[in-house]
């Protein structure tokens, strides 16, 4: 097949300003409302995702502060038991489903195509659809909460508590459909990310040369693919039990409450790694750049992430030690749970070795990494402790567990995320964040976090159970709780400082230029913020650290059409150029399809028939989405 010679392409004749003008016409998102709603630019969708997920972090944080205010003193009458149930359920739900998982994907949607040297994410309309569905699900559950029909049975909604008998009304149905919204969205984005990472890498970026963040997102996305169907199935069974009288979880009719726990934790444990593996990716990129050398033992890092991904599916039962299981089951899941410390530990040593061998520059992003290492190691140690059954039975459902998973999740994901935002902020906005303020934020955040959560280990050992709305005086928990509450407010103050820094830096931050950190990966080879088409020419990679390997002019490949949105596809292992493929143009239909899907999902909370009549507009929107439009750019003639 030969290319039509008269089509405009980048190359020696078309470069510089002329190329910029031509590519901008093809790839730009104009400023009018319609164009903004129809955009499929991964950078715009990614930014929306990041801002939305961050907003949910703040909302979930406010709920945490309300709980800490209530628990600061014994016998507090600030909020009722029922309200408290909804608040802790919403806190967990918001943080897990609306902040942590979407945030990892959000950062990837923005960064991965830039790191890989391509013009857009694959299936960009699916990706836009994913955002709208996520937004709709988040708004739905928060509106329900504000209308007093928020979830009330915890972020994991155990049956029978969440079943039709004990959770009357629509509260749990809203929760179950929130699951459907967020999982549809996460699954769609994961498929886009997997295809992008495997097929759209710059020529020469063999799979063994990918940035570690790309590896992290490949593992994460594959985990989403295999884990999220479990929770969708579980919540569909739940809503069916509640709405149409199925008996999946009803023990009097042959159902089993433990079926819920198995399905939920088959998803729920990998979920933890789905949340923090992107964090490992952030840490690796930051460590590399600020230590000015490639991460020590790249193959070990990759294998560690892959083995965490695999092991994560073998230890869900450790959440169920208290349900009564066969003894051999205990031993197996204890061993698997302890084993996960090995790859995690290897990575920690590799980062430390990178710092030891490199020339570290202790800017705010690297300080967040240090905060991560200390905190995450502590969380990992308590993790190994509760992997052992006798200890777990003692500590189950106490504040010790609350301390453990906040160390792992905030230490493992939030600290790296704040570092990552500081690190990539100049790429996204063209301006640097305020560095001294950034350093102060790390210090305050670190102190606040440990003040809040360290005492909870002790509170838990002293026997205070989780999810109680208040406690009597004289149990020996009073001071510890007060200290935790003070720490929570300090940590919140650090988050507030971070937000203020962002707002200030958006306007006043020091202009960054394309590569303010002298970083090695491809996203720093283009302007800040990047042009709508990402790169004028497609970069060619010759090693692990493309920008360090090629200190002078960057090798590039030319020849993509500039009058159509075209991507360069490369082979999965070696990234040899394989083909050019058209990338979808902007379309309003993903938004319309998301609205139709939203009507279907929300309708199905009230009547099962919504699934039937709601499917018709949804299907119509999907067909319109796929149907080629007359205004589309004509393809190269291949069929005569």
Partner 1 sequence: MMRGWRFTGDAAPLPTHAFGTASLTWWGVVGFMLIEGTGFALAIASYFFLMAQEKQWPSGALPPDLLWGTIATVVMLLSELPNIWLKRMAEAERIGPVRAGLVIVALFGVALLVIRGFEFAHLNIGWDRNAYASILWALLLLHTVHLLTDFVDTVVLAALMFTPHGLEGRRFVDTSENALYWHFVVLSWLVIYAIIYWVPRLG
Subset of residues 528 to 587 that bind partner 1, contact rule: CB under 8 A: 536-538, 540, 552-560, 566-569, 572, 577-582
Candidates 9-17, 60-68, 80-88, 595-603: pick the segment binding partner 1 (CB under 8 A): 9-17
Neighbours of 557 (CB within 10 A): 18
Residue 59 Cβ vs partner 1, minimum distance, rounded to whole Å: 29
Q: Which of the residues 296 through 335 are near partner 1 (CB under 8 A)?
A: none
φ, ψ of residue 78 in degrees (nearest 5) = -60, -50
Question: For partner 1, how many residues bind (rule: CB under 8 A)?
Answer: 80
Q: Which of the residues 496 through 535 are near partner 1 (CB under 8 A)?
A: 513-514, 525-527
Neighbours of 279 (CB within 10 A): 29
Residue 47 Cβ vs partner 1, minimum distance, rounded to whole Å: 22
Q: What tokens were used for 209?
A: 């040369």
DSSP code, position 79: S
Among residues 412, 296, 420, the alpha carbon closest in space to that of 356 is found at: 296
HSE, CB side, 13 Å, CA atoms: give it for residue 328: 0
Nearest to partner 1 of 443, 623 (CB atom): 623
Q: How many angstroms separate the CA atoms of 74 and 427, rounded?
A: 48
Residue 241 Cβ vs partner 1, minimum distance, rounded to whole Å: 8
Q: Which of the residues 594 through 613 are near partner 1 (CB under 8 A)?
A: none
Nearest to partner 1 of 16, 436 (CB atom): 16
Q: How many angstroms separate the CA atoms of 403 and 414, rounded?
A: 15
Q: Which of the residues 344 through 383 are near partner 1 (CB under 8 A)?
A: none
Among residues 543, 622, 560, 613, the alpha carbon closest in space to that of 590 is found at: 622
Q: Which of the residues 134 through 193 are near partner 1 (CB under 8 A)?
A: 187, 190-191
Candidates 85-93, 166-174, 221-229, 304-312: pick the segment binding partner 1 (CB under 8 A): 221-229
Residue 266 Cβ vs partner 1, minimum distance, rounded to whole Å: 7
What does the longest C-alpha to C-alpha distance in the chain come to?
Answer: 87
**Binding test (CB under 8 A) with partner 1, winner from 27, 123, 265, 321:** 123
Please answer whether residues 510 and 83 qualify as being in contact, where contact means their C-beta atoms are separated by less than 8 angstroms.
no
Among residues 285, 357, 306, the alpha carbon closest in space to that of 544 is found at: 285
Burial classification of residue 637, based on how many CB atoms lie within 10 Å of its CB (0-12 exposed, 13-18 middle, 19 or more buried): exposed
**Binding test (CB under 8 A) with partner 1, winner from 46, 92, 137, 203:** 203
* Token pair 């994907």 in the structure block, residue: 105
Nearest to partner 1 of 32, 640 (CB atom): 640
Residue 122 Cβ vs partner 1, minimum distance, rounded to whole Å: 5
Residue 444 Cβ vs partner 1, minimum distance, rounded to whole Å: 35
Residue 322 Cβ vs partner 1, minimum distance, rounded to whole Å: 19
Residue 208 Cβ vs partner 1, minimum distance, rounded to whole Å: 19
Please, what is the angle between helix 124-146 and helix 589-606, to 10°? Answer: 40
Q: How many angstroms separate the CA atoms of 515 and 234, rounded?
A: 46
Nearest to partner 1 of 244, 328 (CB atom): 244
Burial classification of residue 76, based on how many CB atoms lie within 10 Å of its CB (0-12 exposed, 13-18 middle, 19 or more buried): middle
Nearest to partner 1 of 443, 612 (CB atom): 612
Neighbours of 574 (CB within 10 A): 15
Candidates 53-61, 222-230, 429-437, 481-489: pick the segment binding partner 1 (CB under 8 A): 222-230
**Binding test (CB under 8 A) with partner 1, winner from 194, 275, 369, 591:** 194
H or E stretch covering 489:
helix 478-508
**Site map for partner 1, 617-636, x if CB under 8 A?**
--x---x--xxx------xx
Residue 311 Cβ vs partner 1, minimum distance, rounded to whole Å: 18
Q: How many angstroms separate the CA atoms of 621 and 580, rounded?
A: 28
The DSSP annotation for 367-406 comes to HHHHHHHHHHHHHHHHHHHHTSHHHHHHHTTBHHHHHHHH
H or E stretch covering 63:
helix 42-71
HSE, CB side, 13 Å, CA atoms: give it for residue 246: 13
Nearest to partner 1 of 162, 373 (CB atom): 162
**Size of the chain, expressed as the number of residues it contains:** 640
**Site map for partner 1, 68-107, x if CB under 8 A?**
----------------------------------------
Nearest to partner 1 of 449, 625 (CB atom): 625
DSSP code, position 579: E
**Binding test (CB under 8 A) with partner 1, winner from 23, 162, 176, 198:** 198
Residue 103 Cβ vs partner 1, minimum distance, rounded to whole Å: 21
Nearest to partner 1 of 82, 253 (CB atom): 253
2 forms part of the interface with partner 1 (CB under 8 A):
yes
Candidates 233-241, 315-323, 412-420, 452-460: pick the segment binding partner 1 (CB under 8 A): 233-241
Cα dihedral sign for 545, 550, 551, 557? negative
Residue 256 Cβ vs partner 1, minimum distance, rounded to whole Å: 5
Q: Which of the residues 402 through 461 are near partner 1 (CB under 8 A)?
A: none
Q: How many angstroms separate the CA atoms of 252 and 270, rounded?
A: 31
Residue 600 Cβ vs partner 1, minimum distance, rounded to whole Å: 13
Cα dihedral sign for 137, 269, 381, 297? negative
23 forms part of the interface with partner 1 (CB under 8 A):
no
Q: Which of the residues 240 through 259 are near partner 1 (CB under 8 A)?
A: 240-241, 244-248, 250, 253-256, 259
Q: Which of the residues 383 through 402 are near partner 1 (CB under 8 A)?
A: none
Q: Which of the residues 272 through 301 are near partner 1 (CB under 8 A)?
A: none
């Amino acid at each position: 097949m030969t290319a039509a010679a008269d089509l405009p392409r980048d190359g020696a004749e078309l470069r510089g300003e002329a190329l910029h003008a031509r590519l901008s016409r093809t790839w730009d998102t104009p400023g009018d409302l319609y164009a903004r709603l129809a955009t499929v630019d991964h950078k715009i969708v990614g930014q929306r995702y990041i801002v939305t997920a961050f907003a949910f972090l703040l909302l979930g944080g406010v709920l945490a502060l309300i709980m800490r205010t209530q628990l600061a003193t014994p016998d507090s009458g600030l909020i009722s038991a029922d309200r408290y149930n909804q608040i802790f359920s919403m806190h967990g739900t918001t943080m897990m489903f609306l902040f942590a998982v979407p945030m990892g994907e959000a950062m990837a949607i923005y960064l991965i195509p830039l790191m890989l040297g391509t013009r857009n994410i694959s299936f960009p309309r699916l990706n836009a659809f994913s955002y709208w569905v996520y937004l709709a699900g988040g708004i739905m559950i928060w509106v329900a909460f504000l209308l007093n029909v928020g979830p009330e049975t915890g972020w994991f909604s155990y049956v029978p508590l969440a079943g039709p008998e004990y959770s009357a009304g629509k509260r749990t149905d809203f929760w179950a459909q929130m699951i459907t919204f967020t999982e549809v969205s996460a699954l769609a984005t994961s498929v886009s990310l997997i295809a992008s990472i495997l097929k759209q890498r710059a020529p020469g970026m063999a799979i063994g040369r990918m940035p570690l963040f790309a590896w992290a997102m490949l593992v994460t996305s594959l985990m989403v693919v295999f884990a999220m169907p479990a929770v969708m199935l579980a919540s569909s069974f739940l809503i069916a039990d509640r709405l149409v009288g199925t008996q999946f979880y009803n023990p009097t009719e042959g159902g089993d409450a433990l079926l819920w726990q198995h399905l939920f934790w088959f998803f729920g444990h990998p979920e933890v790694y789905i949340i923090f593996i992107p964090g490992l990716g952030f840490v690796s990129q930051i460590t590399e750049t600020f230590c000015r050398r490639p991460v020590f033992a790249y193959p070990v890092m990759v294998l560690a992430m892959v083995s965490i991904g695999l092991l994560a599916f073998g230890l869900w039962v450790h959440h169920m030690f208290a349900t009564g299981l066969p003894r051999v089951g205990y031993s197996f899941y204890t061993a698997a749970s302890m084993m996960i410390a090995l790859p995690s530990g290897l990575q920690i040593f590799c980062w430390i070795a990178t710092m030891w061998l490199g020339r570290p520059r202790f800017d705010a992003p690297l300080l967040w990494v240090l905060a991560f290492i200390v905190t995450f190691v502590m969380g990992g140690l308590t993790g190994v402790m509760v992997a052992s059954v006798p200890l777990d039975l003692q500590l189950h459902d106490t504040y010790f567990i609350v301390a453990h998973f906040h160390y792992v999740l905030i230490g493992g994901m939030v600290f790296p995320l704040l570092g990552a935002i500081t690190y990539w902020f100049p790429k996204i906005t063209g301006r640097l964040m305020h560095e001294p303020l950034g350093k102060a934020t790390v210090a305050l955040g670190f102190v606040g976090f440990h003040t809040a959560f360290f005492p909870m280990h002790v509170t838990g050992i002293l026997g205070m159970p989780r999810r109680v709305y208040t406690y009597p005086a004289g149990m020996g928990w009073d001071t510890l709780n007060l200290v935790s509450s003070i720490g929570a407010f300090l940590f919140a103050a650090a988050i507030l400082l971070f937000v203020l820094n962002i707002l200030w830096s958006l306007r006043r931050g020091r202009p960054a230029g394309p590569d303010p950190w002298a970083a090695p990966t491809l996203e720093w080879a283009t302007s800040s913020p990047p042009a709508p088409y990402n790169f004028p020419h497609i970069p060619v990679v010759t090693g692990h650290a493309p920008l360090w390997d090629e200190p002078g002019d960057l090798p590039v490949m030319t020849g993509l059409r500039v009058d159509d949105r075209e991507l360069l596809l490369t082979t999965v292992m070696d990234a040899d150029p394989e083909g050019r493929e058209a990338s979808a143009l902007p379309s309003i239909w993903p938004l319309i399809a998301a609205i139709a899907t939203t009507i279907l999902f929300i309708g199905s909370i009230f009547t099962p028939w919504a699934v039937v009549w709601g499917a018709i507009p949804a299907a119509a929107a999907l067909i319109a989405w796929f149907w080629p439009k007359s205004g589309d750019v004509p393809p190269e003639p291949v069929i005569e």
